[in-house]
Amino acid sequence: MPVPPAGPVAAPPGGAAPAVRLTAGFALAFLGVYLAVDWLTFIHPRPNLNITPWNPPAGLYLALLLRTGLRGVPLTFAALVAGDLAVRGHPASAASLVASNLVIVAGYAAAAHVLRHRVAIDPELSRVRDVGWLVGVTFLSAAAVAPAFVGVFVLDGAVAADDLPLFAFQYWLGDAIAIAVVTPVVLLLHRPGPPPLRLPAERPSAAQTAAMIAALAVVFLPIGGDRFNLFYVLFLPLVWVAVTRGLAGAVLAALVIQGGLIAGLQIIGFPLNAVVYHQTLMLALAITALFLGAVVSERRAVETRLREHEAELAHIARLAVTGEMASALAHELNQPLLAAISYTRAAQRLLDGADTPPRAQEFIDKAVAQAERAGEVVRGLRAFLRKGSPHLAPEAAADIVRETLALVRADATYNRVHLRVDVAEPLPPVLCDRIQVEQVLLNLLHNSIEAIAAADPPRREVVLSVRAADPAGVIFAVEDTGPGVVADMVDRLYSPFATTKPAGMGLGLPICRSIVESHGGRLWLAGTSAQGAVFHVFLPAAPP
């Protein structure tokens, strides 16, 4: 299980886009969208061949393969065959229908495999690198698929061998544009969080949309005689959107412009060669949009991270000053407190047996108790502030669990709390100071037992579990059936002295967190509800 980022309550692990589950419902929906897009855009086909100068369906199945990997191959093949039969009216033999679609699926599944597993691109295309690999790998595989696809029809006798290079180029062009324009939009629509269409910061503004429409009008209306010469005007609104809205805005703008081009060319009925010429320009436009948008988005992300880091550093600096003051204060307070305790004890002894009012003894006892408690707080604070590096050694997580249990058993029995253990072997060894990690788990278990003892729920159970985690390491979990963490504590759990217990010190969790972090691990509240709380501790695995 991936380790979530820091925070009071963990976000869903990883923050990745929802996994695509290839259910029958999903498959039907995909086929429906695929056939609709195919039907809408299947215009200007080459005679004897289902090649058009645009092929948006390719953008759809590439996005599917990028999200699902090899699992998406059967659905892709089914969509291609359905498209040929229902929309395109396959012009050649059944064998060539199967062979040509197998060529497409094999080519793009291989590209998706390389992108997912070899280069491991981020499907949300958050970096320029991701866009670079997407364009590079898919354009190359399109260059392999295109001649193979046309070659099937040459072998079938439907196409003359001489036409292969030109047709293959047109095929490549249609697919390349689809990949540059449609795939990024689909990938971004499927990312976690609100899709770009719903985010005003990413969506082209009304003025920008108007500018795109105006630019399309300039290209299509017979202004200045030759329409082709004015294509470059389309770059202006596109660059405007990419620079101000980043990648999501840029790919949406490219999609709008491509849609406008298809519609415009369709309305004025251009000859096929003019369409191919326009599409070549469109490819340049789409690639510009992708890279410019990615540069802007990546830069913005870096700026945001920098700002966050600055805020974090300022916070740490403040904490360091506070820590030094607290350390000095703890040192200064310790001596007078110890002196006050001994003087009060001495006074108590002097008064012993003497004819003192009975309540005087009681008050002196209380004074001693309070001073001792203050001493404990000061000692706790000093322990918390003491900087000591742990003695690290590779340890078996199962041993840590076993020893911790032995230490906590008496407390659990006394409070009638049932302890359960769940060790999910195999577990990698962890590099840690065993005593310190046991202290952490012990503290979490004590908190759980105390929470149950105070709330007295019908089920009294604490589960200590450990399992392997990703990135390499283990996650210990302490789960209880107590009342959960009270709402206003959730954000303060790791602040020193934050406590809801009458005799609590509020140092347990801050100390635990600093121990875990000194091991390069994380401690977080993984869940809390009226049915209980769950704390997770991640520790990295020992290097092999």
For ligand ADP, the binding residues (CB under 6 A) are 447-448, 451, 480, 482, 484-486, 489, 493, 498-501, 504-509, 533
Residue 219 burial (CB count, 10 A) = 23
Nearest CA-CA partner of 255 in 220, 290, 300: 290
**Buried-state track 314-338, b at ≥16 Cβ within 10 A, e below 16:** eeeeeeeeebeebbeebeebbeebe
Rounded least distance, CB 481 to ligand ADP, Å: 10
Residue among 184 and 482 whose Cβ is closer to ligand ADP: 482
Rounded least distance, CB 501 to ligand ADP, Å: 4
Rounded least distance, CB 442 to ligand ADP, Å: 11
CA separation, residue 103 to residues 133, 152, 289 (Å)? 22, 9, 29
Residue nearest to ligand ADP (CB): 508
Give the integer Cα–Cα distance in Å for 525 and 254: 43
Q: Are 289 and 245 in contact (CB under 8 A)?
A: no
Residue among 32 and 504 whose Cβ is closer to ligand ADP: 504
Residue among 207 and 486 whose Cβ is closer to ligand ADP: 486
Rounded least distance, CB 509 to ligand ADP, Å: 3
Residue among 361 and 495 whose Cβ is closer to ligand ADP: 495
- Positive or negative: CA dihedral 207, 210, 215, 218: negative
**CA quadruple 305, 306, 308, 314: dihedral, nearest 10:** 160
Rounded least distance, CB 449 to ligand ADP, Å: 8
Rounded least distance, CB 322 to ligand ADP, Å: 17
Q: Beta 473-480 vs 532-540: how paired, if at all?
A: antiparallel
Rounded least distance, CB 507 to ligand ADP, Å: 6
Find out whether the peptide bond into 184 is cis, omega within 30 degrees of 0. no
Residue among 98 and 377 whose Cβ is closer to ligand ADP: 377
- The amino acid present at 412, given as its one-letter code, is A
Residue among 262 and 515 whose Cβ is closer to ligand ADP: 515
Residue among 2 and 8 whose Cβ is closer to ligand ADP: 8
Residue among 508 and 540 whose Cβ is closer to ligand ADP: 508
- Positive or negative: CA dihedral 65, 115, 289, 180: negative
**Phi/psi zone of residue 46: left (φ > 0), alpha (ψ -120 to 50 degrees), beta?**
beta
Rounded least distance, CB 525 to ligand ADP, Å: 8
